[in-house]
Amino acid sequence: MTQKIKKIALLTGGGDCPGLNAVIRAITKTAIVNYGMEVIGYKFGYRGLYNNDYVSLTLDSVSGILHRGGTILYSSNKDNLFDYQVEENGVKIKKNVSDIAVENMKKEGVDVLIVIGGDGTLTSARDFARMGVKVIGVPKTIDNDLASTDVTFGFNTAIDVATEALDRLHTTAESHHRIMLCEVMGRNAGWIALESGIAGAANVILLPEIPYDINKIVKKIKDREDNGREFSIIVVSEGAKPKNGEVVVSKIVADSPDPIRLGGIGNKLADDLEKLMPEKEVRCTVLGHIQRGGNTSTFDRILSTRYGVGAVELINEGKFGQMVCLKGNELSSDSLENVIGQKSKLVDPEGELVKIAKKIGISFAD
Amino acid sequence: MTQKIKKIALLTGGGDCPGLNAVIRAITKTAIVNYGMEVIGYKFGYRGLYNNDYVSLTLDSVSGILHRGGTILYSSNKDNLFDYQVEENGVKIKKNVSDIAVENMKKEGVDVLIVIGGDGTLTSARDFARMGVKVIGVPKTIDNDLASTDVTFGFNTAIDVATEALDRLHTTAESHHRIMLCEVMGRNAGWIALESGIAGAANVILLPEIPYDINKIVKKIKDREDNGREFSIIVVSEGAKPKNGEVVVSKIVADSPDPIRLGGIGNKLADDLEKLMPEKEVRCTVLGHIQRGGNTSTFDRILSTRYGVGAVELINEGKFGQMVCLKGNELSSDSLENVIGQKSKLVDPEGELVKIAKKIGISFAD
Amino acid sequence: MTQKIKKIALLTGGGDCPGLNAVIRAITKTAIVNYGMEVIGYKFGYRGLYNNDYVSLTLDSVSGILHRGGTILYSSNKDNLFDYQVEENGVKIKKNVSDIAVENMKKEGVDVLIVIGGDGTLTSARDFARMGVKVIGVPKTIDNDLASTDVTFGFNTAIDVATEALDRLHTTAESHHRIMLCEVMGRNAGWIALESGIAGAANVILLPEIPYDINKIVKKIKDREDNGREFSIIVVSEGAKPKNGEVVVSKIVADSPDPIRLGGIGNKLADDLEKLMPEKEVRCTVLGHIQRGGNTSTFDRILSTRYGVGAVELINEGKFGQMVCLKGNELSSDSLENVIGQKSKLVDPEGELVKIAKKIGISFAD
Amino acid sequence: MTQKIKKIALLTGGGDCPGLNAVIRAITKTAIVNYGMEVIGYKFGYRGLYNNDYVSLTLDSVSGILHRGGTILYSSNKDNLFDYQVEENGVKIKKNVSDIAVENMKKEGVDVLIVIGGDGTLTSARDFARMGVKVIGVPKTIDNDLASTDVTFGFNTAIDVATEALDRLHTTAESHHRIMLCEVMGRNAGWIALESGIAGAANVILLPEIPYDINKIVKKIKDREDNGREFSIIVVSEGAKPKNGEVVVSKIVADSPDPIRLGGIGNKLADDLEKLMPEKEVRCTVLGHIQRGGNTSTFDRILSTRYGVGAVELINEGKFGQMVCLKGNELSSDSLENVIGQKSKLVDPEGELVKIAKKIGISFAD
């Protein structure tokens, strides 16, 4: 490393996710304890970078946050500085304000920017790298759908929450001989439904990647009844869709500021099933935002800590423009240039986990 | 006790509720261990009584169920034998089939029937008592709205679930500066919203008993912003309604087979708030069925055990036609004749708990 | 109230307990929001009062602490200002330094002191009241053994932890056909063992109030085996003792700075049982400090909030020298003069809860 | 596969571990649903094989056990049929009774035996394979110390329990400015201490693989005090030992039937630290058996299901004498001949996870 790094900044962008605080803590501790760096955190993602709105991060300010969900730096889903909405002469226009951001960093003497975020946030990170900014990326996706890393923090906590919900629904389903649907996150990738479905003893799992045939669901329920099981548990990804291609709630989901709230496919499917099986009681629960928050799981705390330390080590090794990632069980890295634009890591309908699920009798209604 | 009780039967009616299995276990153990009684359980509430569909309950069959939600005897929301729907000559008619039920009990040698259920189920229990059947009631209401008992099982577990959900929503609300609504159970009585709201650090609590003024909600949110708190948590009973009297979702709720699923007031209110505060992100989570199931809380396990033992003690003392209840911290009993028809125990807008909540700054938007 | 109260101080004394932070939060919010009072918190109980070491308590400083165990004001088990250990001329002597404390309060303009603590801490509170200080007491006892109040915060959380531990021990006990002992808190009062034992499906409960006959324990285990139950769960209060009066670990417990750590009776009993039943595997777990900490239960959060609000209301009503308490389900108060010196509230061997436990087959080995 | 497999048997050996029931369920479901095999389970490990004591495993018998710790087949730590203790003519002798076991399998028509267990149990499995029995192994080690597989079930649940305990200890440590030690499982391999220590924000982690210098612990505590942190959390493996080589509790641990119960190193270290820092309060909690039991974590439920399905797939592929294992994220297999006798997978003092821990300031007192 030719030039000594004295001051680093970090920011969190996109939807919050359990583990963000653990990453912030690990970065701050590693940078201060090992390399005597100064650390600041921009607030609300790129917006803080634009407004030069930041807090100093010290050993004190990251104390007691390891287990807490959310992000002490706040986050924003919307602010892309390469296409920022500003008001000029009373008119709202889109404008590239990334120069101002770079100026702000220089003014504060920030040598390196660590960006923690999902696909959108990291795309801007790459663009800053192209402008010559020393950038390090940390991947964040609660849906676990980034191709460039095997597993990311937040996902394990989310399936813990979903699995506990399925455990709860089981007792009611059994007591009342009901069909219980549970809609979980996953608009494009069905990992949360798949893993929580296996862990939560679901009978049917519906994923965006495997369009469903509602008659197959009905058949599975009836087969169970023939074997004396008068209740069934169905896990539905919010992005699940019927086989005939009609994407039931696509317009609402696309337009809504709160697609999770509207749910839709779960409740729609509950209605459909009740029509096909009028003698059964069908109920639906849309888990929604409780999947994102609260205490971070043990697994995610460790994973986040590894990512955080790994990010600072990349700085120490002078590997700018890289994103820290996990390959198998090993910390590794990849260039942001490679990472951006890769297709999402979807559930493979022929992959091991789907096969495992089928072997123990779970139906995907395909 | 003049005549020795040799055989008792129990049944669970209405919506399931954490603690039912603990009551079944306590009744069975107490009856067998102390009094050498034989115990059977009718399945699916009164339907099992009508169809003489039952299981023998032994020390073995109640082993390992103390902590489990639901009911091993199954339950049904619908079957009232005094007004039972039967099919005669291909036509569905309502008919009083309580005689058949009494006949079934006699045939099996059942001396006493213990009925565990809510208002509807216990009304039938009283009617059986009037027919001369030896009946004991055990109150069940997850909403905690029975006037005749201070507290019932299931309620504590429900507020535990709701409070944990609020804890989870907090981290996201804070990270994104959002308004998070959480709709909880309580169509007529707002106890779950009130207690989980206090325990979950809500800023606004909306109850059926205290119609809300949406402008007061907006004011509270703005006041918080003025004090640097840019997020707010709102707990909404499913039966909450605006002050102007317009009961937003009443028709749907009244007609629906699944009012919990439809939620409605929570999502409706989220829409309304977004219109009034377009600059804020508002999100809603409808907790739904996860409030009813899963592991029973410590508190409810103990309470249920007390109710179950108390029910058998009433038999031992020959106090038939009575319902076991809790007054203060003491087990007690009241006659089913007194209990039925009492008005629900609603939240008193001038009561201690509402006052406590207001003192720490929680708004009821009244 | 003749004289307006402008500034109040609080402190927490004795062992920590889930709910302390919730009390601090409720006091601070109530005092500021309703009465515009200024609030400070002395650190480390009376020691902070003596050293005039305090923090200002604002709405900000009590934000986010409702659910957290422990006390943000810190606590100390040892510092009694009426008998304080000071060093004078190189010699450690005990000295009454309460005047200095009163002086400190005057200097800071503190009108009222709220003391949150157990018997020892509240005794000093009464003594300050006798000196003319305006004092309010809030009772704290994780063992639930204060006679003057029906239930206090921390206890519910403690039995939650103990019950979850018993749930965990069950699966191992059953898989290996073992005798599992679990030693819980309760040196003089056995409430934690009694309630967690009922909730955790224990087979034997040993309390300080009911000396045990080890042969009765062996008999219970053998009776279970005769009925096909080859494992048993025993809950032991740390203060449980054998019937013959020999208090096995009394000296160690009395002398030790960490009686919980040493446990003793649990391990001693495990040894004894193994000698009497050499064919059985006997295991013991001493729960220790995990019973005191972590997240506060829903029940305790509500209870603590009520106590905290109640304390400030006593100030508002000018009821100094009183302690807030709970009678049945109602907030109430009693004078510190009455409260101090009352005998501990022990488990009544003839009381309802012991009877309930016996009815469902739990043995107390008496 | 030349010969059709019609009937398989399974057994669980060694200490219980969360996930065993999930494996049993997955094996049973896969074998019945996909291959129409008959499945039986020997009780108490090899002892059931010797006594021909088994239960039939059906879809019904494995219903509802996915989440439950322990093993419905029971387990035994001691029974090695190649060196079995039998009584002949009133004298207890060791004898190879494996022939009888093989005979029993033939008698029942068992084609394949699946053995779920740790190193000792699998060694016997290999020996049965050498005798020509078709055997499949499933690795079980709560300590995660098997070299032949990257991760096994039970470990994640154990670190969840340990991490939650550390969370609880934190609040008390902080409130009282204490040193809190927590002794966790791990006699030879320190994985549980290492991972729970990172996840639970420990300040010092002591492992069997990295002998500790008590002066380094004292230094770490004092360094923290100098930085205003007046409490410290220390996680200790039960097998941790001081640097000078004196293995403090070795004899007791070696001789004891219940090494977990005795703990020892934790309490011994607490005593030593109190002597070196008499002004500090030091407390120790020995977690013991609660690490093994209770509900299985989401992660372990999925992992166990994969292992169970994988074991039956090995049968289907005719790969006898193999053990299912996980390499990276992939299910794989290895021959029992290779697996047995491999050295345990210990924590590498120079490995990634130790480095990560050191980077964020955790001391190993080395």
Q: What pLDDT score was predicted for residue D26? A: 98
Q: Which residues of B278-316 are buried (b: 16+ CB within 10 A; e: fewer)?
A: eebbbbbbbbbbbbbbbbbbbbbbbbbbbbbbbbbbbbb
The answer to whether residue B365 sits within a structural domain is no
Q: What confidence score (pLDDT) does residue B192 get?
A: 97
- Cβ–Cβ gap B195/C156 under 8 Å: no
Quote the number of domains for chain D: 2
- The one-letter amino acid code at A68 reads R
Helix, strand, or coil here: C251? helix
Contact C175 D281 (CB under 8 A): no
CA distance linking residue B12 with residue B45, whole number of Å:
5
In whole angstroms, give the CA distance from residue B231 to residue B203.
Answer: 9
Which is it for the CA torsion C224, C225, C227, C230, positive or negative? positive
Question: Which of the four pLDDT bands, split at 50, 70 and 90, describes residue A51?
Answer: very high
Mean pLDDT of chain B: 91
Same domain, yes or no, for C11 and C149? yes
Residue A344 lies in a domain: no
CA distance B146 to C54: 47
CB nearest to D257's CB, from C281, C289, C295: C281
In order of A48, A199, D137, the CA distances from B238 in angstroms are: 38, 30, 53
Which CA distances in Å does C239 have to B167, C111, C265, C283, C355?
36, 41, 8, 19, 21
How far is C91 from chain B, CA to nearest CA, in Å?
48
| A chain contacts of residue D163, beta-carbon cutoff 8 Å | 298, 301
Q: pLDDT tens digits, residue range C31-43?
A: 999 999 999 999 9
**Tens of pLDDT along B287-307?**
989 999 889 999 999 999 999
One domain, residues A109 and A55? yes
Query: Which residues of D are annotated as part of the binding site for ATP?
Result: 15, 78-79, 118-121
Would you tell me which residues 34-73 of chain C have a C-beta closer than 8 angstroms to some C-beta of chain B?
34, 59-60, 63, 66-67
Residue A347: predicted pLDDT: 97
Structure tokens at C239: 């203060």
Is A215 a member of any domain? yes
Give the Cα separation of A198 and A200 in Å (integer). 6
pLDDT of residue A245: 61
- For residues D184 and D237, is the Cβ–Cβ distance under 8 A? yes
Residue type, B263: G
C contacts of B353 (beta carbons < 8 Å):
306
Contact (Cβ atoms closer than 8 angstroms) between residue B9 and residue B113? yes
| B66 and B162 together in one domain | no
Does a structural domain hold residue A126?
Answer: yes
CB distance D293–C169 less than 8 Å? Answer: yes
CATH of the domain at B228: 3.40.50.460
User: Of A269, A292, A315, which residue constitutes the final position of a domain?
Assistant: A292
Residues A260 and A171 in one domain: yes
Overall average pLDDT of the B47-74 stretch:
95
The CATH number of the domain holding residue D14 is: 3.40.50.450
Where is the binding site for Mg(2+), in residues of D? 119
Q: Chain C contact for B30, CB < 8 A? A: yes
Eight-state DSSP code of residue A296: P
Question: How far out from the chain centre does Cα C121 lie?
Answer: 12
- Residue C35 has phi, psi (to 5 degrees) of -120, 5
From the candidates C16, C143, C145, C300, which is the catalytic residue?
C143
Helical axes A352-359 vs D20-35, angle rounded to 10°: 80
Number of A–B residue contacts, CB under 8 Å: 141
pLDDT in tens, C346-364: 999 999 999 999 999 999 9
B116 CB neighbour count, 10 Å cutoff: 33
CA-to-CA separations, A133 to A40, A112, A156, in angstroms, rounded: 16, 7, 33
Q: β-strand D7-12 against D38-42: which pairing, if any?
A: parallel
Mutate to test the interface with C, among D87, D172, D292, D295 (most CBs of C within 10 A): D172
Residue B118's nearest CA partner among B80, B84, B86, B85 is: B80
Give the separation between CA C54 and CA C61, rounded to whole angstroms.
13
- pLDDT of B312 > 60? The answer is yes
The whole-angstrom separation of Cα D65 and Cα D73 is 12
Q: Is D196 close to A298, i.e. CB distance below 8 A? A: yes
The amino acid sitting at C234 is I
Whether D117 and D165 map to the same domain: the answer is: no
Count of Cβ atoms closer than 10 Å to residue D1 Cβ: 9
Same domain, A21 and A147: yes
- Would you say D28 and D167 are in contact if contact means Cβ atoms under 8 Å apart? no
Contact between chains at B274 and A283 (C-beta distance less than 8 A)? no
Indicate if D206 and D173 belong to the same structural domain: yes
Average pLDDT over every residue of B25-40: 98
CA distance linking residue D137 with residue D148, whole number of Å: 12
Per-residue pLDDT at C320 exceeds 90: yes
Q: Tens digits of per-residue pLDDT, A182-241?
A: 999 999 999 999 999 999 999 999 999 999 999 999 999 999 999 999 999 999 999 999
Assigned domain for A354 exists: no
Q: Are residues D102 and D26 in the same domain?
A: yes
Residue A2 lies in a domain: no
Q: Give residue C264's pLDDT.
A: 66
- Boundary residue ending a domain (A292, A324, A356): A292
Residue in chain C lying closest to D71 (CA): C175
Contacts of B329 in chain C (CB under 8 A): 150-151, 328
* pLDDT band at residue C246 under the 50/70/90 scheme: low
Of A15, A261, A293, the CB nearest to B168: A293
| C-alpha–C-alpha distance, residues D301 and D210, integer Å | 32
A140 pLDDT more than 90? yes
Q: Which residues 122-181 of A are in CB contact (within 8 Å) with D?
A: 150-151, 156, 159-160, 163, 167
pLDDT in tens, chain D (366 residues): 457 999 999 999 999 999 999 999 999 999 999 999 999 999 999 999 999 999 999 999 999 999 999 999 999 877 899 999 888 888 889 999 999 999 999 999 999 999 999 999 999 999 999 999 999 999 999 999 988 888 899 999 999 999 999 999 999 999 999 999 999 999 999 999 999 999 999 999 999 999 999 999 999 999 999 999 999 999 999 999 998 765 544 333 444 444 444 456 888 898 889 999 998 999 999 998 999 988 999 999 999 999 999 999 999 999 999 999 998 888 999 999 999 989 999 999 999 999 999 999 999 999
Model confidence at C245, in pLDDT bands (50, 70, 90)?
low
Q: Are B141 and B160 members of one domain?
A: no
D10 contacts D116 by C-beta, under 8 angstroms: yes
Closest Cα in chain D to C280: D257
C15 is in an annotated binding site: yes
C325 at interface of B, judged by CB pairs closer than 8 A: no
Dihedral sign for Cα atoms in the order D284, D285, D288, D292:
negative
Q: Residue positions of B in the annotated binding site? A: 15, 78-79, 118-121, 141-143, 178, 185-187, 238, 283, 289-292
Does residue B146 sit in the same domain as residue B44?
Answer: yes
* Alpha helix (H) residue ranges in D177-249: 191-199, 214-226
Question: Of the ranges B14-18, B140-144, D266-270, which one carries the lowest mean pLDDT score?
Answer: D266-270
State how beta strands C54-57 and C84-88 pair: unpaired
pLDDT tens, A167-191?
999 999 999 999 999 999 999 999 9
Per CB-CB distance under 8 Å, the chain C contacts of D274 are: 257
pLDDT the model gives residue D329: 83
- Are C9 and C108 in contact by the 8 Å Cβ rule? The answer is yes
Instruction: Please give the Cα distance from B281 to B298 (Å, whole number).
Output: 37
Task: Tell me which residues of chain D, numbers 227 to 286, contact chain C at a CB-CB cutoff of 8 Å.
Answer: 257-258, 260-262, 267, 270, 274, 281-286
CA distances to C78, C82, C320, D229 from C101, rounded to whole Å, are 16, 10, 18, 27
CB contact under 8 A, A356 and D301: no
Pair D135, D9: CB distance under 8 Å? no
Instruction: Say if residue B159's pLDDT is above 50.
Output: yes
Which residues have CB under 8 Å from C217's CB, separation 6+?
A: C204, C206, C234, C273, C363, C365
pLDDT for the residue A85: 87
**Contact of C135 with C128, CB cutoff 8 Å:** yes
Strand locations in chain A, DSSP E?
Answer: 7-12, 38-42, 54-56, 84-88, 91-95, 112-117, 135-139, 178-184, 204-206, 232-237, 281-286, 322-327, 330-335
Checking D192-195 for CB contacts under 8 A at 24+ apart, the result is D192/D142, D192/D143, D192/D144, D192/D155, D192/D158, D192/D159, D192/D162, D192/D237, D192/D291, D193/D162, D193/D235, D193/D236, D193/D237, D193/D240, D194/D347, D194/D353, D194/D354, D194/D357, D195/A298, D195/A302, D195/D159, D195/D353
* Residues facing C92 on adjacent strands: C87
For chain D positions 199-238, those within 8 Å of chain C (CB to CB) are none
Q: Which helix (H) or strand (E) holds C195?
A: helix C191-199
To which residue do tokens 């002004």 refer? D279
Say if the Cβ atoms of C71 and D175 lie within 8 Å.
Answer: yes
Q: Does residue A346 sit within a domain?
A: no
Contact D362, A305 (CB under 8 A): no
In angstroms, what separates the C-alpha of B43 from chain A's closest C-alpha? 10
- Enumerate the β-bridge partners of residue D93: D86
Helix-strand-coil split of chain A, %, nearest 5: 40, 20, 40
Locate all alpha helices (DSSP H) within chain D, ordered by sequence.
20-35, 46-51, 98-108, 119-130, 155-176, 191-199, 214-226, 250-255, 259-262, 265-276, 298-316, 336-339, 352-359
CA count, 13 A, side-chain hemisphere, A141: 27
Is there a single domain that holds both residue B125 and residue B232? no
Structural domain including C281 reads 156-292
Would residue A199 count as lying in a domain? yes
Which one of D70, D170, D261 has the shortest CB-CB distance to C293? D170
The residue type at A262:
L
The whole-number pLDDT of residue A122 equals 95
Which of these three, B292, B321, B348, is where a domain ends?
A: B292
Considering only the C-alpha atoms of chain D, give the largest distance between any 2 of them, rounded to a whole number of Å.
74
Say whether both D250 and D169 belong to one domain. yes
**C289 annotated as a binding-site residue:** yes
pLDDT value for D78: 77
Q: B312 to chain C: which residues are within 8 Å by CB?
A: 359
The Cα A252–Cα C245 span in angstroms is 74
The minimal CB distance from A169 to the residues B75, B170, B289 is found for: B289
State the pLDDT at residue B267: 84
- Do A70 and B165 lie within an 8 Å CB cutoff? no
